[in-house]
Structure 1
């Protein structure tokens, strides 16, 4: 039976994965300033949270999971897959 990763890591990974397409869609369409001003810091904070939470996972986080956490956008999802 798989052990679920901690809830904060799952939340940060979801926010990271959802915010990147929103930012890119905004970039290729209307390039609205408020979307960029809000979405950029949200994505950055989620990215940093994924990295920090992965490294804080202790022995559960393998070297592969730690390296995957550094991938922007999809790193959180990769880490979740490796920690299951």
Structure 2
């Protein structure tokens, strides 16, 4: 799922940029651009995992709901591909 991998990377990177901006300069233009980008990427990650037609590994949908790193955790779980829940 390359779209899920891309959306989860954008979600994580945009969160890091937002947090660094908050701690350092707190520039409003950065927040104005990165905030909606992060939110949109977060929603895309959730929608891709919820609407996936392929048999999905247990726990992927719940991992996708974690803000910031949930997409990366979901991609990792899908790549591992095991079917047992931990």
TM-score for both structures, normalised by structure 1: 0.88
2:41 aligned residue: 46
CA distance in structure 1 between the aligned counterparts of 2:34 and 2:55, rounded to whole angstroms:
31
1:23 aligned residue: 18
Could you say which structure has the greater relative contact order, defined with CA pairs below 8 angstroms and 6 or more residues apart?
A: 1
1:3 aligned residue: none
Say if 1:50 and 1:76, in contact at 8 Å, map to a contact too: yes
Q: Unaligned stretches of 5+ in structure 2?
A: 80-86
Say if 1:55 and 1:61, in contact at 8 Å, map to a contact too: no
Q: Secondary structure of the residue that 1:57 maps to in structure 2?
A: coil
Aligned with residue 69 of structure 2, among 67, 74, 79: 74
Q: Unaligned stretches of 5+ in structure 1?
A: 1-5
How many residue pairs get matched?
A: 79
Shift of 1:61: 2.4
